Chain A
Amino acid sequence: MGSIIILNGSPRAPKSNSKRYAGIFSDNCKCNTEYFNISKTNHYELCGKLGNFTDMLFVFPLYADGIPVTLLNFLKTLEQNPPENKPVVSILINCGFLEYKQNDVAVSMMKLFCKQNGYRFGSVLKIGSGEAILDTPFKLLVVRKIKKFADSISLSRYCTLQTTMPISPKMFVKASTTYWTNYGKRNGITKEQMETMQIEK
């Protein structure tokens, strides 16, 4: 059985949704996993570890329709410092919007990185409504999908999976309005203040 290194490419890795997704992954994975946050200063250290693993899982959020700069910069370092034995690359991506398909461009970028640098591409799990889903009853769906995703990697039966809240876009707009209004409230900010049209004023 293989071993999996999990790299979190969220700019807020220690407090990220990605970290929670990675935790569910490790809890449900039959092979050994080791987890690391990508930081500004640990690129070389991480590159040095990769060769010891059969699989590498990138967990990260969608940022401005692409991969976050935190991950982009790591990939650029990895390009210059590849391990001798290259693990298979899988990805678990989450985005804030409802549609998991909004992650597709970022997935293509990761595939291109693999192609350009000689990594075999493995499994993908695309999560929509990823900012909030873990704190709703729909968490169950995510856990089930992550389990399947983890199996696909540990058995080397790579595949593409996806999940999101099973609600209409209109319902999502309503639910997200409540989510964000409460977020502001915890900071002492009203909905009206959050709705300001002004920028830097």
Chain B
Amino acid sequence: MFKTKLILSDRPLNINIKSDDIKFINLSSLKIANCIGCYGCWTKTPGKCVIRDDAVKIYPDIAKSDKLLYISRIKYGGYDTIMKTMLERAIPVQQAFIRLVAGETHHVQREVAPKNATIIAYGEISDEEKEIFRKLVARNAHNMNFESYQIIFTTELQLEETVASEVEKWEASLS
């Protein structure tokens, strides 16, 4: 399987990515409707969403990536609308069928590379909100094939700086 490095952001960012191996996608510039829970991607056209908008270009990239960076505003301790909409639309990468992961029931993944994920969560985030978000990502890890992950909390003001510093680390490890 061909693996990629992927950055998904819920807003445009003014950062300079030198490496051609890193793909940056600004979700806010795309047309992505919300999942309607029809399960067509599991039971009608397995592996493909029935809504043919921009999301169908993104979840294959998520599946292929072994290094993944999500950048999202936080709302009520979870991802805000733009990122959450994309994550809900990504269920075609799983099968309907269920297996046990650490004794718990979860879906079987299709061809999804195990991931080293970083989540940059930004906004005015209280300690309570951070705690909820940490629990959320720990759950996501089981469902989204994260082998390892780290969460970085930052403010909107410091966001570009935080992202740039992560990207630099990625580029250093690639060269």
> Chain A: residues with CB nearer than 8 A to chain B?
10-12, 16, 61, 63-70, 72-73, 75-76, 97-99, 102, 104-105, 108-110, 112-113, 115-116, 169-170, 172-173, 176-177, 180, 183-184, 186-187, 189, 193-201
Contacts and interface: CB of A to CB of B under 8 A. Distances in A.
Contacts of B59: 199-200
Question: Which one of B75, B91, B135 has the greatest number of beta carbons of chain A within 10 Å?
Answer: B75
Contact of A97 (B42, B63, B106): B106
Nearest to B40: A187
Given A105-B135, A184-B46, 4 more contacts: A184-B43, A194-B97, A199-B110, A201-B47
Interface of B: 34-39, 42-44, 46-48, 56, 59-60, 63, 75-81, 84-85, 87-88, 90-93, 95-100, 103-106, 108, 110-112, 128-129, 132, 135-136, 139-140, 143
A194 B98 contact: no
Given A12-B37, A67-B78, A102 B139 contact: yes
Contact of B48 (A173, A195, A200): A200
A199 B34 contact: no
- Shortest 10 CB-CB contacts between residues of A and residues of B: A180-B96, A65-B139, A12-B37, A66-B78, A97-B105, A109-B76, A197-B111, A184-B43, A98-B105, A64-B87
Contacts, number: 153
A70 B85 CA distance: 9
Contact of A180 (B80, B91, B97, B111): B97
Contacts of B38: 12
A136 to B, nearest CB: 16
B60 A200 contact: yes
A173 B47 contact: no
B47 A69 contact: no
B77 A109 contact: yes
B60 A199 contact: yes
23 contacts: A11-B34, A63-B88, A64-B91, A66-B84, A68-B34, A69-B81, A72-B84, A76-B75, A97-B105, A97-B106, A105-B132, A105-B139, A108-B132, A110-B76, A113-B76, A115-B128, A176-B105, A180-B43, A195-B108, A198-B47, A198-B110, A199-B47, A200-B47
